[in-house]
Chain A
Amino acid sequence: MSHQRYPSTHDAVKEPHSVSLKVLRLSRPSLVTQFPLQPPLSATSVPSTGRRPPPIPASLAYDPRDLLRDGTLTDPPAVNPDPFILSPIVNLPPSFGSAYVGETFSCTLCASHDAFGSVVSSDEGDVSPPATHKTIRDVRIKAEMKTPGSGTVVTQLELIGPDSSPEDDKKGGVDLAPGATLQKIVNFDLKEEGNHVLAVTVSYYEATEVSGRTRTFRKLYQFICKASMIVRTKPGLLSATGTGKGRRWVLEAQLENCGEDVMQLERVVLDLAPGLGYTDCNWEASRSAKPVLRPGETEQVCFVVEEEGEDGKGVEEEEGRVVFGVLGVGWRGEMGNRGFLTTGKLGTRHVKPPASAVVKKIAA
């Protein structure tokens, strides 16, 4: 899965384990690309006129036809939109990819009773018949995540099984026949930049005809979580509406995609302190399309923040600062992968209106 891993030596016994652990990061599956080719491919045929023939099936992401028992081919339903580059068939994630703050990290953990005898650390190796008659019972998986800011504290991860319910600890482990796999899924919300370590512990009871023992091993998967968005904000004072209401500010923010993937902004919201309200001045207000940001591109958003009461009643102020609240940004990445982050507390220095000279100073 990840870039590095450190085999751990929990077991004093050097004998290879009968259970293997494999992991796959479950980012969204990806639509498979295709480059449809027009017949004729042969040198002798003459270009035809009239309706375009269907593309060569081998150039499509999958063969849309069905082979009937009598050897004839069916007419495909028009699901695969040739000659378009994207097809509706999906691939599992080919690699770990990049992990970004704001996204949910999903990963599947597979503990298998390796059917081909003892486990060796490499994929290479001869096919040996099952060497011993080992029975594998009571297989348990435990997963923890260590985050950069957590110090020595680790987060215990909830394991999700096929019935989508959290694992019941009292239920105990699972017995695995040769070749069988225990599959679990973990989810973790990435909130910090930096080194994360997923630690997976597998324990099982290995019984031979004459004896039995409990064995445990642990694997560490390290990955780096990066920021995918930089948020820069700037508050400014607006003149009051004159209707006798409270003060007004404009809060601008630049959202920069600093990741490596295209993202589409879904929503920007303010979560304001009591006594404040806001007007959204962005794509939802203008009913325009949601902005798409390619890597390195920036979108500017804007809100009008307004005191709901008069004369600053109910607005929290700390040492001459008006605290607005936090800005939340939600986006979707490739194949709908969700991201959401909130800023720290935003605010502005308290200014008694009308004081245009001071306003200029702040804006400068």
Chain B
Amino acid sequence: MDIVSSYLSNLMLIVGSLFLLIGAIGLIRMPDVFTRMHAASIMETAGASLIIIGLIINTGFTVVSLKLIVIMLAIFYISSVATHALARACIHDNLKPNATNKESDQ
């Protein structure tokens, strides 16, 4: 049981770190600000949550794991609102996304 949980938590930490790495690569490779936001949202949802779940499995059910759950909920709520605010500020600043479908743009 102990071995299983330690392997599971290590696996989750590795996969979460991989998502963080891919998000960082995407931040550099993507062409404009909106597509870069998509890359960043991988990091703050999948990356952060997998790392925190791995840590929860590692510590077991204690006060620390409840604190980690609160941190995860805070990251989820704050990051989605911050992404929306950033995107809206870009539109407000007349930064048009170079999208390909002009027919549904009106």
A and B assemble together: no
